[in-house]
Structure 1
């Protein structure tokens, strides 16, 4: 299908304005092939994928062994469910993840996506408390602007009102607390805000606190040094389960297998997807600890009352195992840790050269630049200006210059960067060069308006 043929309307895109792709002149490319850190559209134009597709193409594109493993598994056992049966690829993958995840996160329930992983964690937490004799523990706490998925349960956890409103009323169990945006702080002590919310709801009614190690929506909000250890202490104090949502941050994005490891915490549940297969096939899941496992084995008739036909698909599980092997062979985690400080220095150089950049934040290969109207006073662009900046100029211009990243305003306008974890300094430097050009152009454009 060519880009122009998108206008027929047979294909409907995800979270994409219809005006961008339906009509006489669609403004989005149709991707055709990929290799390394680059993708090509059907017109032959090459793009540096500085977003890893959607924070998930960890090892980049075109590793032949991934297809070979998938083919071999298709030939041997193309499908078997994990619903009342098991198969070896899922068994082996669970064992491999147990070796890489922190603490006693030794048990794994596989699904197909990040939203399903979050949904599973919410349900598992509620069933845990019910089995533990506390069925009134149903309330869930998450953070403002946090994105945790689109299925109705995960959507309730998502702290973006604009995504929830079309589908309300949702389950009346969701509560939101300040996030860890240090540039525009919502609370002088975000960990204390979590405890305050638990006390406000009633400690004996709260089931789960869920948060990303580094929050995606809003632009890579990193936590204070003591934030995660304090969340662990607070949840333990009140008998609340703690979940790390690592759908984005897991599998090397922050330079570690998990963000939990980076920030020195062992949660009760850890959700993952995206990077577990480097997006070569869909797979997600939730890892959980021994105390949850023991309650789910309490009696012979006990089960986790949840399932998905394709959860832990044997071909996806086999590909995930090959992905983990390639992580080791390619030295992926070492590459991120070796280059993250250099990458940060280059991004901060953009801050020095361009007044439109108000803040640089992130870690590993996960960064955001917040764009501002007046840096000295942190003056924000208004809604009309933001629309003109992000969608009227930046999104199209970046594609024109041959780079994919995210120009987003789910809080304030940001450019988000999440390159494949195999990217070297030459590739990272190409990202900086394109940003250097486009930020200068954007600043001049906004002054002229």
Structure 2
């Protein structure tokens, strides 16, 4: 099983989910759960959408498979056109993959070959952020900033470097007490400091060797870190100054998660590449995409050149047809507008939990939130390893599931609970999530 401690199921059955409808899941025993994680940040339109299943069946009956190796097919062409029209700026070139890891892997390879073709072959290094997760393939894992995930697979791909992330809740600790992040001015100064770490790393490595910076609009691992004001504006300036590509890793943040089609729109910055997957089909078929600027395509249009990369199932006819229907339903049901109009209610409902002694911070954007747990709200003291294992994993994670809430409890960084419900969720769903969390976290506090 994926990312699973198998010994946990030596004497206890693996939970088996057999049905989904809307924002709910049912297990093999008939118990109902709130899907507070959209499967895995993926089920944007919710479960049981017959329109998407019917689209897949129709496409299978017409053309079940055709690779994009020197050929094309209508669903891939139409979806590429749709993505290019939705993406910001001149991001008009689309390369299809099967997953987020493959999209990140592809973007790095694209950046390296682009610079080789434009006479800068030494530009191959990548910068990303501490604790950030970018995937599990060897290249994407190398870009990932979580040491515990990497150690078993070393040596990894060289040439990756990590800078401080934009976790404002821990900013005084990151900056040795130089900033007290309590207001917009302080947040802007912290954002400038965090962005400048990228410039310092580029200088240290040599600008002639750095190809790209990979950043999520809202960093997932660690517990949903939104960027401080001005952060991405400064990062864009840094990338322009040093001729470094800005890759917006939107495997989670694209397709409505933050209330816009792409997270870069939400925070008003222009990337050179966007990496996507997950919500592009609402999970009804596997698909990912890399959306690149016209500039990056230019050297590949010269006689004899090609991007020496591809996947058998990348841009699969069924997956691309499902994605097109998914985005059509986004338009018809005004999903982006729904998220934007309900984001404040989701935040407000979760922020009620701040009156619990165990809740230190509630942070995020749109329908994507993290709740950081602490031992002391004043000092922001976190759990130690033993407490995290005993309280977060052995109690909170299991108890939330028992009470009917499927979400994520994680300590890649500090202990957090992550929430990312389907984009069709409303106030009654938010309240159901909050009530279950309140009961479990109140009980958890007695175990500290």
Given the two structures, how large is their TM-score scaled by the length of structure 1? 0.95
State the Cα distance separating 1:171 from its structure 2 match. Answer: 2.0
Specify the alignment match of 2:35 in structure 1: 49
CA distance in 2, matches of 1:67, 1:345: 35
Q: Aligned to 1:206, which of 210, 216, 219?
A: 210
Tell me the residue number matched to 1:91: 77
What residue in structure 2 maps to residue 235 of structure 1?
Answer: 239
Runs of 4+ in 1 over 3 A off after TM superposition: none
Decide which of 34, 54, 60 is 1:74's aligned counterpart. 60
SS class of match (1:33): strand
Match of 2:187 in 1: none
Q: 1:166-181 counterparts in 2 under 5 A?
A: 166-181=152-167
The number of residue pairs the alignment matches comes to: 430
Q: Secondary structure of 2:26's partner?
A: strand
Residue 31 of structure 1 corresponds to: 17
1:38-437 to structure 2, matched below 5 A, reads: 38-185=24-171, 186-187=174-175, 188=190, 189-297=193-301, 299-352=302-355, 354-437=356-439
Unaligned runs of 5+ in 2: 176-189
Q: Cα distance, 1:20 vs. partner?
A: 2.1
Q: Could you report, residue by residue, the CA deviation over 1:290-315 in whole angstroms, capped at 9, with x for unpaired residues? A: 11011221x22111110000000000
Instruction: Give 1:328 deviation, angstroms.
Output: 1.2
Normalised to the residue count of structure 2, the TM-score between the two structures is 0.95
Separation in 1, partners of 2:345, 2:49: 26
1:10 — aligned with what? none
Q: Distance in 1 between matches of 2:148 and 2:70?
A: 39
**CA–CA distance in 2 between the matches of 1:390 and 1:444?**
13
Matched, 1:15 2:6: no
Question: Helix, strand or coil: the match of 1:316?
Answer: helix
Between the aligned partners of 2:430 and 2:338, the Cα distance in structure 1 is: 12
CA deviation after TM superposition for structure 1 residue 376, in Å: 0.8
Q: Secondary structure at the match of 2:285?
A: coil
In 1, the alpha carbon distance for the partners of 2:157 and 2:421 equals 36
CA distance in 1, matches of 2:47, 2:8: 26
Q: Report deviation, 1:146.
A: 0.4
**Root mean square deviation of aligned Cα:** 0.8
Mapped to 1, the partners of 2:143 and 2:383 lie a distance apart of 28
1:135-186 deviation digits (Å, cap 9, x = unpaired): 0001100000000000001000000011111111112200000000001123
- What SS does structure 2 have at the residue aligned with 1:292? helix
Displacement of 1:398 in angstroms is 0.6
Q: Secondary structure at the match of 1:118?
A: helix
State the 1:85 CA deviation. Answer: 0.8
